[in-house]
């Protein structure tokens, strides 16, 4: 190679390298951004596909976090609380409450556009956020429609049916984009309905495939339910998506659905291109306590008892911590992470064995945990630095009732929580033992975020945002937010400045270290 | 559209009928407002226990007698609470007040009814009815919450203990 040619190629390479970030920015959430999110992005519900909610950002540290201050706040002026995880792509944040999407400048917090759909039927229980594919957003409405918006201006590209709201379905989750698929789950608990995941073409809205978690309603001696409430995770190397399924229906009365009730209360692995089931692991066979297994299936690669493993971890609503080999769904560890009294133990395959004496009864059964579970929709985090699975837990007790007069449709019984508290627990994934715990008062709906610098961000049951030392759980920073926290924090870096994003009530708060004016 | 040959009253009735059907469709078709919503508990559901066994648990294994008296604080209990409300109260009295004692750096201890508590702030209502609060890092404080003894009972209960206790407490009229 002559010198002139070498110099030319060097200049061209440098120009290409400089241009790549702008190319990426111009393309929105393209496949590379979704697979390898840059520091200035949070392009999916969990940030990256792993569900770990662990950031490599380290500008905010245990040493300086006490100086964290408010960079800006955004008021939705809505009564519905923010339950969504914002997406950040190209410097713009996208977040939601039911029927509403906002696009907001991540540097200043000012609104760029606001989409508001017409009032709709269906349960308005909350909305977890949008998904993005290139320059398009995907948003679910309470009446079980999927809407695609132009991310530039919030105009509707297309709108398609996901389910029949008249039958009792609704939708609340943040879709998951994998390749050229928009994966969507459904919600519903008060009617005997089949749960499913449906894949849509991001360009046209056409259905690509559907995987049903349970048989059609009315199938004799078979369950319904298995709703797919929450966003799954994805392993690009294995090309498998991992998704949790919800409880069977009827909810508290299992008499019409004998057996395990597959695939309810399960973690399932699906091929995202075909919807074919690769494997399933049921965390609550024959559930009668409404313990959805839709808590984040967190993907971790690392050592397990001396062997390298591709693992999947879940702190499940039923009170058990599960570690699976995600290549085949085999159990590596099943252990309670709080009070549980509903099992006869764990079988050799790692499934808890339900105690029939603890099924809801006409005169009541005392059950731990309560219906809300040892944890719920709030996201946990896996701290890769300390090898800790950190979860906002809810040790709790309750009484469950069901009698013949309650029937076998929908809830089919009643349950009442009698006591509970909130605890941030750091679980050693090798043993399931809690390494540290941090009491947070009443149950909190705050998720968890960890960073490489050694910080755990979450919130307590008294509306305080918290930063804890990930190594021991000690509080390093807090800020009162004024309303209940029911969302999970995110972080990103823009213009060399790390931001922490938290929300409570209808307000989104951006926090950062002090900056010279 | 053909002309309507109907009276104003008939048209009003038709409009009312359509609105009614719309409301039924919105509230009754699926979801928690439909037939599959949560059910309830009748007092008659909670009558499977044995009074004597409940009294024995109260005075013995349950340890209830350490804090409660059937002729003292619990006298007339079943006249104040019944059914599910009584059972919930029995399992954990969630509205019970805690006492707080706070000692600031000045050394004088202030006592009162706990009004607020988190990791960072403790607040109480003092004997004059005034709300007072301190940063927890600045004071010594003690919370007296005897109702938390109920939490320690949860893992010890058998379901029949609860039913028997209910039977016994319902005799305290």
Contact between chains at A368 and B38 (C-beta distance less than 8 A):
no
Portion of chain A with pLDDT greater than 70, in percent: 95
Task: Please give, one letter per residue, the 3-state secondary structure of B24-80.
Answer: HHHHHCCCCCCCCCCCCCCHHHHCCCCHHHHHHHHHCCCCHHHCCCCCCCCCCHHHH
**pLDDT on residue A146:** 98
pLDDT tens track for A467-507: 999 999 999 999 999 999 999 999 999 999 999 999 999 99
Instruction: Kindly report which listed range (A19-33, A471-485, B9-23) carries the lowest average pLDDT score.
Output: B9-23
Residues from chain B contacting residue A165 (CB–CB below 8 Å): 29-30
Query: By the 8 A CB rule, do A225 and A166 touch?
Result: no
ipTM: 0.92
Q: How would you class A21 by CB atoms within 10 Å of its CB: exposed for 0-12, middle for 13-18, buried for 19 or more?
A: exposed
Q: What is the DSSP letter of B156?
A: G
**pLDDT on residue B13:** 55
Instruction: Name the A residues in 154-193 with CB < 8 Å from any B CB.
Output: 165-170, 188-192
A473 and chain B: CB distance < 8 Å anywhere? Answer: no
| CB-defined contacts A:B, below 8 A | 128
Task: Please give, one letter per residue, the 3-state secondary structure of A140-204.
Answer: ECCCCEEEEEECCCCCEEEEEECCCHHHCCECCCCCEEECCEEEEECECCCCCCECEEEEECCCC
Q: Whole-angstrom Cα distance, residue A464 to residue A388?
A: 23
Q: Whole-angstrom Cα distance, residue A345 to residue A264?
A: 20
Q: Whole-angstrom Cα distance, residue A44 to residue A232?
A: 11
Residues from chain B contacting residue A439 (CB–CB below 8 Å): 119
User: What tokens were used for A200?
Assistant: 């849509």
Q: What is the DSSP letter of A85?
A: P
**pLDDT on residue A499:** 98
Contact between chains at B119 and A339 (C-beta distance less than 8 A):
no
pLDDT at residue A344 tops 50 = yes
pLDDT tens track for A404-430: 999 999 999 999 999 999 999 999 999
End-to-end CA gap in chain B: 71
Strand A54-55 relative to strand A449-451, pairing = parallel
pLDDT at residue A388 tops 70 = yes
Residues from chain B contacting residue A339 (CB–CB below 8 Å): 154-155
Task: Indicate the CATH number for domain B99-144.
Answer: 2.30.30
A464 and chain B: CB distance < 8 Å anywhere? Answer: yes
Q: Which of A400, A248, A406, A361 is nearest to B39 (CA)?
A: A406
pLDDT tens track for B40-94: 999 999 999 999 999 999 999 999 999 999 999 999 999 999 999 999 999 999 9
User: What tokens were used for A103?
Assistant: 């696009």
Q: Whole-angstrom Cα distance, residue A461 to residue A442?
A: 5
A140 beta partners: A146
Nearest to B39 among A414, A475, A478 (CB): A414
Q: Whole-angstrom Cα distance, residue A295 to residue A369?
A: 15
Query: By the 8 A CB rule, do A312 and A304 touch?
Result: no
**pLDDT on residue A330:** 98
Q: Whole-angstrom Cα distance, residue B90 to residue A111?
A: 51
Query: By the 8 A CB rule, do A295 and A316 touch?
Result: yes
Instruction: Give chain B's mean pLDDT.
Output: 89
Map out the domains of chain A with their CATH numbers. Answer: 37-55+83-117+126-512 (2.140.10.10)
User: What tokens were used for A177?
Assistant: 């984009």
pLDDT at residue A1 tops 70 = no
pTM greater than the 0.90 cutoff:
yes
Banded pLDDT at A189 (limits 50, 70, 90): confident
Give the chain B residue whose CA is nearest to the CA of A361: B45
Give the dihedral sign, CA A427/A69/A129/A92.
negative
User: What tokens were used for A111?
Assistant: 């609104």
pLDDT tens track for A113-154: 999 999 999 999 999 999 999 999 999 999 999 999 999 999
Contact between chains at B36 and A412 (C-beta distance less than 8 A):
yes
Q: What is the DSSP letter of B138?
A: G
Angle, vertex CA A52, rays to CA A48 and CA A53, nearest 5: 70
A372 and chain B: CB distance < 8 Å anywhere? Answer: no
Q: Whole-angstrom Cα distance, residue A136 to residue B24?
A: 36
- The residue ranges of every structural domain in chain B are 44-94+148-169, 99-144
């Amino acid at each position: 190679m002559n010198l002139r040619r070498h110099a030319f190629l060097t200049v061209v390479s440098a120009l290409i390298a400089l241009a790549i970030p702008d190319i990426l920015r111009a393309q929105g959430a393209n496949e590379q951004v979704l697979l390898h999110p840059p520091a200035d992005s949070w392009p999916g519900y969990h940030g990256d596909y792993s569900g770990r909610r662990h950031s490599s950002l380290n500008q905010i540290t245990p040493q300086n976090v006490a100086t964290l201050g408010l960079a800006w706040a955004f008021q939705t002026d809505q009564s519905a609380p923010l339950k969504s995880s914002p997406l950040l792509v190209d410097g713009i944040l996208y977040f939601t409450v039911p029927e509403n999407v906002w696009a907001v400048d991540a540097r200043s917090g000012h609104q760029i556009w606001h989409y508001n759909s017409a009032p709709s039927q269906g349960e308005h229980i909350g909305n977890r956020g949008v998904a993005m594919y290139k320059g398009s957003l995907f948003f679910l409405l309470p009446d079980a429609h999927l809407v695609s918006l132009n991310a530039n201006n919030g105009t509707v590209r297309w709108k398609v049916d996901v389910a029949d709201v008249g039958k009792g379905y609704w939708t609340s989750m943040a879709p998951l984009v994998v390749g050229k698929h928009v994966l969507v789950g459904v919600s519903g608990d008060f009617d005997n309905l089949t749960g499913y995941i449906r894949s849509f073409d991001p360009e046209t809205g056409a259905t690509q495939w559907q995987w049903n978690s349970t048989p059609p309603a009315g199938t004799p001696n078979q369950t319904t339910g298995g709703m797919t409430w929450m966003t799954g995770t994805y392993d690009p190397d294995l090309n498998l998506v991992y998704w949790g399924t919800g409880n069977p229906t009827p909810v508290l009365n299992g008499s019409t659905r004998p057996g395990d009730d597959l695939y309810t209360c399960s973690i399932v692995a699906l091929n995202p291109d075909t919807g074919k089931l690769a494997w399933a692991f049921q965390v609550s066979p024959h559930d009668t306590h409404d313990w959805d297994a839709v808590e984040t299936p967190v993907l971790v690669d690392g050592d397990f008892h001396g062997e390298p493993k591709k693992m999947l971890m879940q702190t499940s609503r039923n009170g058990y911590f599960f570690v699976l080999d995600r290549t085949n769904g085999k159990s590596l560890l099943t252990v309670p992470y709080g009070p549980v009294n509903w099992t006869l133990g764990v079988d050799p395959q790692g499934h808890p064995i339900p105690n029939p004496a603890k099924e809801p009864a006409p005169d009541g059964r005392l059950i731990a945990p309560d219906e809300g579970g040892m944890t719920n929709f709030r996201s946990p985090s896996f701290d890769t630095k300390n090898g800790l699975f950190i979860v906002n837990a809810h040790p709790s007790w309750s009484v469950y009732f069901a009698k013949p007069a309650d029937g076998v449709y929908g809830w089919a019984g009643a349950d009442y929580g009698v006591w509970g508290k909130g605890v941030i627990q750091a679980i050693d994934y090798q043993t399931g033992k809690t390494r540290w715990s941090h009491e947070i008062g009443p149950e909190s709906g705050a998720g968890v975020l960890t960073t490489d610098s050694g910080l755990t961000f979450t919130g307590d049951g008294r509306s305080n945002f918290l930063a804890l030392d990930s190594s021991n759980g000690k509080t390093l920073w807090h800020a009162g937010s004024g309303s209940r926290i029911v969302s999970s924090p995110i972080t990103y870096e823009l213009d060399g400045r790390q931001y922490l994003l938290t929300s409570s009530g209808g307000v989104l708060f951006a926090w950062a270290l002090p900056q010279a004016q | 559209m053909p002309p309507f040959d109907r009276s104003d009253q008939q048209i009003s009735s038709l409009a009312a009928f359509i609105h009614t059907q719309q409301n039924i469709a919105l509230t009754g078709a699926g979801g928690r407002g439909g037939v599959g919503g949560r059910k309830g508990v009748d007092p008659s559901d909670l009558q499977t226990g044995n009074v004597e066994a409940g009294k024995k648990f109260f005075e013995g294994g349950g340890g209830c007698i350490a804090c409660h008296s059937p002729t003292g604080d619990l006298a007339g209990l079943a006249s104040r609470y019944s059914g599910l409300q009584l059972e919930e109260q029995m399992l954990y009295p969630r509205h019970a007040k805690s006492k707080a004692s706070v000692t600031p750096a000045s050394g004088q201890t202030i006592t009162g009814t706990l009004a607020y508590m988190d990791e960072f702030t403790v607040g109480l209502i003092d004997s004059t009815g005034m709300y007072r609060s301190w940063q927890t890092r600045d004071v010594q404080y003690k919370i007296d919450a005897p109702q938390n003894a109920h939490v320690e009972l949860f893992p010890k209960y058998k379901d029949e203990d609860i039913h028997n206790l209910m039977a016994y407490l319902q005799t305290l009229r």
